[in-house]
Amino acid sequence: MTILCPIDFSAATEALVTYSAALAAGTGATLRLLHVLEPGPAAATAPVNDVELARRLARHHEAAQQAGAQVTTAVIQGNAAQEIVAEARRYPADIIVIGAHGQTGLTRFLMGSTAETVVRTASCVTLLVKPGSPNAYRQSA
């Protein structure tokens, strides 16, 4: 089993990796951490150079390994939503665990939502994790 976990280094990334690593460790799945470098202006949370990117990715890789997960990483370029779905097919993933940043209304309409697009277009199961404490999960109906 393979779990694909796209990360963007936002404040929600740590909780998302913690949750994904626990899921992978508990099921014996391989966890694949993926970062997509999008064209255009970089997000405020984006690493400033390749060294910083490698350092941040290694930190999340290490944390997932310490949680008991078997981990691989990848960095690709392109449109985040399209590349996440394509990576899920290429690798292939049984589930995508992706974070939701809680955009609503006008922001979501104007900018779109990577998570929403992935949920709609992925051919595998997609688990959307809302921001918050990684120890405060609840099941939604």
Which CATH number goes with the domain that contains 20? 3.40.50.620
- Model confidence at 138, pLDDT cuts 50, 70, 90, reads very low
- 31, 69 contact by CB (below 8 A): yes
Asked whether residue 81 is domain-assigned, the answer is yes
Asked whether residue 139 is domain-assigned, the answer is no
Asked whether residue 136 is domain-assigned, the answer is no
What would the pLDDT profile of 48-60 be if each residue is shown by its tens digit?
788 999 999 999 9
pTM of the model: 0.85
Asked whether residue 43 is domain-assigned, the answer is yes
DSSP annotation of 119? H
Asked whether residue 134 is domain-assigned, the answer is no
Asked whether residue 57 is domain-assigned, the answer is yes
- Model confidence at 112, pLDDT cuts 50, 70, 90, reads low
Asked whether residue 135 is domain-assigned, the answer is no
Domain span including residue 75: 2-129
Asked whether residue 55 is domain-assigned, the answer is yes
Cis peptide before 92 (omega within 30 of 0): yes
- Tally the domains of the chain: 1
